[in-house]
Amino acid sequence: MSKFVVIGITDMPHPNLNREAIQHIAKSRFFSGGIRHKALIQDFLPENAEWINITVPLTDVFDQYRQIDETIVVIASGDPLFYGIGNTIKREFPEAELLVYPAHNSLQLLAHHYQLEYGKMHIATLTGRDWPEIDLPLIRGEQMIGVLTDRQKTPKTIAQYLLDYGFDNYDCYLGEKLGGPNQKCQKLSIAELLEVDFVHPNCMILVQNKPIIRQFGIPDQAFQTLDGRPKMMTKSLIRLASLSSLQLDSASVLWDVGYCTGSVSIEAKQAFPKLKVIAFEKRTESDTIIRNNMKTFHVPGIDIYNGDFFEQDIEVLAAPDRIFIGGHGGKLSEMMQKLHALLKPNGCIVFNAVSDETISTFKESALELGMQLEKSSRIQLDDFNPIEILKATKIM
């Protein structure tokens, strides 16, 4: 059975290793890590040391590990179990014996420099990951967010992303080459981040300087709407009743078909930031409208698809367990069939009907597909036509 000793170091030229770590290095022959790690640890390595560079793809590195029947000492940055190689080794070699000797991770070093109370910090790693990692703490309004970057998600691109959704309410603490002789730390506004040159590796801590006030049940008049068609939007009370019918607290993926202004998608994502929301709309002018509304209400993370729904390659998208139909273009029956095929078992479709014809079409289509019709609700607002909130559940 393989054995790994994973030793975390900072970028100091002469790492301050504890006695046990030094002993493991002295009696081992196989070592692994980045080129930078080898240079930092060189003085500790025995004469017969054999080094395996950690490079992508990692599968090639792990294949080399599997050929070795001795202890492998892996040198890593900071804490190997803090989004580090230690976790990857645990997944790839679940039966292996693992010893870990951590150093401070980069966010700890940055927090120490500014004496920040980092026990309150929410971690968002964008290293090799996409924007949902930071969407969640931003929508939740976390007061302190530690951000791990990479060469694509840089401080500059992250700052632009924040500003695209109106998140200028954070101060940024930026740290570069932390823990080494060339360490550099700066406190900047989000706008100032766009003008700063930086080096890798780096990380950031965002500290909120003022909260964003959110409202469940966003006022209708606050949304940008289609020119000359202010009624083309699911109204607030109808919207909240529809979201209640969708039971999003137990959902993972919501499809909003016919988003128009994006009111349902935005309200859903704001209330349930972990929810993956995919929005479809035929009107191309709605693309600008939903994006403006997302910025106004500080709600990132909605995937938008414009054009005829029946021409979309929806099979490649994350399958929904909740669907809201906000528009059907006169093809409700065909749409129900297309959606039902991808809807997860026990998932549901909610539809707001404005006529007896569409009520009948929805119910008939649902029954033909073997779905279970739930009890409907009828709501009338002011001088608007009554709205029938219909729901059908896909039976396993």
Express each pLDDT in 354-385 by its tens digit: 889 999 999 999 999 999 999 988 887 776 67
Looking at residue 185, what DSSP letter applies? E
Looking at residue 105, what DSSP letter applies? -
Q: Is the peptide bond before 132 cis (omega within 30 degrees of 0)?
A: no
**Whole-angstrom distance, CA of residue 186 vs CA of residue 395:** 56
Q: Give all strands (DSSP E) within the chain, no chain letters.
A: 3-9, 30-33, 50-53, 71-77, 97-101, 122-125, 144-148, 170-176, 184-189, 202-208, 253-257, 276-281, 302-306, 322-325, 348-353, 372-373, 377-379, 387-393
Q: How confident is the model at residue 232 (pLDDT cuts 50, 70, 90)?
A: low
Residue of higher predicted confidence among 275 and 383: 275
Q: How confident is the model at residue 161 (pLDDT cuts 50, 70, 90)?
A: very high
110, exposed or middle or buried, with CB in 10 Å at 0-12, 13-18, 19+? buried
SS3 43: helix
CB 109 within 8 A of CB 85: no
SS3 357: helix
Q: Which position has the token pair 């770590």?
A: 21
Most distant CA pair in the chain, distance: 87
CB 28 within 8 A of CB 5: yes
**Whole-angstrom distance, CA of residue 125 vs CA of residue 153:** 10
Sign of the CA dihedral 28, 30, 34, 39? positive
Q: How far is CA 122 from CA 136, 144, 171, 185, 205, in A?
A: 10, 6, 15, 20, 10
Q: What angle do CA 380, 383, 385 make, to 5 degrees?
A: 50
Mean pLDDT, rounded, for 329-350 = 94
Structure tokens at 232: 């083309």
Least confident among 229-238, 246-255, 364-373: 229-238
CB 45 within 8 A of CB 31: yes
Residue of higher predicted confidence among 385 and 40: 40
Mean pLDDT, rounded, for 222-250 = 85
**Whole-angstrom distance, CA of residue 342 vs CA of residue 335:** 11
pLDDT at 1 exceeding the cut of 70: no
pTM over 0.85: yes
SS3 content of the chain, % helix, strand, coil (to 5): 35, 25, 40
pLDDT of residue 306: 95
Q: Kindly give, in sequence order, each residue whose CB lies less than 8 Å from that of residue 232, ignoring residues fewer than 6 positions away.
A: 225, 226, 260, 261
Mean pLDDT, rounded, for 86-108 = 95
Q: Which position has the token pair 């009890």?
A: 375
pLDDT of residue 383: 66
pLDDT of residue 56: 85
